[in-house]
Structures are given as C-alpha cells and as structure tokens.
Amino acid sequence: MIGWPTQILAVAIGGALGALSRYGLTVLCTQTSVSRGISGLSALVGGGPSFATTLANLIGCLLLGIVYQWSESVAAMAQTPLNPKLLLAIRVGFLGSLTTFSTLIGDCAVLGNEGRTGVSLTLLSVNLIAGWGLFLLAIWVVRGVMS
C-alpha cells in the first residue's frame, strides 16, 4: 500500500500533465491551422471547442483501454505488477484531467440552447459510442500483443 502523500503527488503530477494535454488539444482545435483542416469533421460535433472535448474523450478512452488491458495482462502472466503509483498517476491523474464528462454535457447543453439539438445528440453519441468502441479496440489490441 502506498501512503496518501505519495498518492496525492502521483495524482497531481498526472493531473497536471493531463490538463496541459487537454489545453493543448483545445488550442490545436481552435487556434491553429490544424483547426481549419478539420473544420468539416469538427462541425459534425459543434465546432472547435466541442471537437477538442470529443478528441480528448476518445483519446482518453483509447488510452484507458490500453492501460487497463496491459495491467490485467501483466498481472495474469504473474509478472511484476505495474507500479500502483504509476497506475494512479495515469488513470486518475492524467486521464481524469484529460477527459471530462462535465464539459461534454456542457457543450451539449450549449448546442441544445442554440437550437442545434441534432448536433448536440451527435456530439453525445460520438463520445459515448466511439469512446466505448476505442476502449474495446484497445483491449483487443493489447491482448493480441501480449499473448
């Protein structure tokens, strides 16, 4: 068992890295030439900020699936388990601050209030369905690699 000061530090470091990554995605999707190149795809889910939320959530689901299956596979092969501080930093800290359900719901509410209910439902559906799909894909790939 790791002590709570170490747990807090692991979550804080992971959280800072996840928050910076999230901010970087938002800048990339709203303030750079990349945002112009993805404008059609971005419009599907309501524009730059909503697209950044979607990317963050989908990347987070994919990474969570990889970390989940990797840690399960390592444990099943009776190898040295992954460092609990590292798992805490990744799962709770990094992925917790990278992804955000509350921002997704807020984006959906804004789109709905603008009368763009269809886009709002598309945004929600893409995040939930594609997120679950990427999580499962990551598990399948890691199982294949580790077996």
| Binding-site residue positions | 96, 99
Q: What is the CA radius of gyration of the chain?
A: 17
Cα separation, 46 vs 59, whole angstroms: 18
Compute how many other C-beta atoms are within 10 angstroms of the C-beta atom of residue 28.
Answer: 17
Cα separation, 27 vs 25, whole angstroms: 5
Question: What Å distances lie between residue 64 and 23, 54, 135, CA to CA?
Answer: 19, 15, 7
First-last CA distance in the chain = 29
Binding residues for Na(+): 96, 99
